[in-house]
Structure formats: C-alpha cells, structure tokens
Amino acid sequence: MSLLSEFMQKEQQLKQLQAEMERLQNDDRLKAELEFKDKLEALMREFNKSSADVIGLLEPQGGKSTPAKAAASSSTGRRKRKLKIYKNPKTGEVVETRGGNQKTLKAWKDEFGSDTVEGWLVRVES
C-alpha cells in the first residue's frame, strides 16, 4: 500500500469517527449518563468516598454470588453445557444435544464429515 493511499484511508476513517462522535454527542442517553457520572463523582468527593467504597455499599458481598446461587452451582460440580440444535438439510431431521456423543450426530459426522455437520448448526441455547 502506498503512503498516499494509506493517508487517504486514514483520513476517511477519521471522518467516519468524527461523524460517530457527533452522533454520540447529540444522543440524550449519553448526556444522561454523563450527567449521572458527574453527579456521582461530586457526591463521592463530598463524602470522601472511593469507587470501591461505593461498590462495597451497593454490593456488600463484593459482587460474589448469593448463597442460593452458590448452593445451586456447587451441587452439580460443573456448569451445564449449551444446547446445540442441528438440522440435516437433506432429511430435515433435527437433533438437539448438549454433548458431542449423541448417536445420530456421530453418524452424520461419520457420513458427511465433521465440518459439514457443524455447518448444519441452527442455534445454540443456554
């Protein structure tokens, strides 16, 4: 890439960024967030508090999970796998699985190849 074309590309990027900045500066949501931030910082200075102090007040446990959440997650020992849904475009057959050891899915991968079958992934759910 020549120096001139690089310069022109950077100039175009700068114009795009300036347009985005202009749009953001006129956004009422941003204005509200900035006003909130300014008032919060002023209040923190007034009471001589740090960000960590405020977080500690709002989340007394320091952001850790509640005991109910901790008990639920420790009972299984590991997190639940995501549900993957595959649809065979040739037959229309749908397979829902949380692991790679599903019989039909393995047969498809043996027949059509792993990369092809992964292309049949319709969606992933938690």
| pTM attached to this predicted model | 0.41
**Alpha-carbon distance 32 to 4, whole Å?**
41
CA angle centred on 87, ends 83 and 91, rounded to 5°? 150
Task: Report the phi/psi class of residue 91: left, alpha or beta, with left for phi > 0 and alpha for psi in -120 to 50.
Answer: alpha
* Per-residue confidence in pLDDT tens, the chain, 126 aa: 789 999 999 999 999 999 999 998 888 889 899 999 999 999 999 999 898 888 888 887 755 555 555 555 556 678 888 899 899 998 989 999 988 688 998 998 999 988 998 899 898 888
Element containing residue 123 per DSSP (H, E): strand 121-125
Look up residue 36 and give its two tokens.
Answer: 């909130």
The residues that bridge with 83 in the sheet, in sequence order, are 125
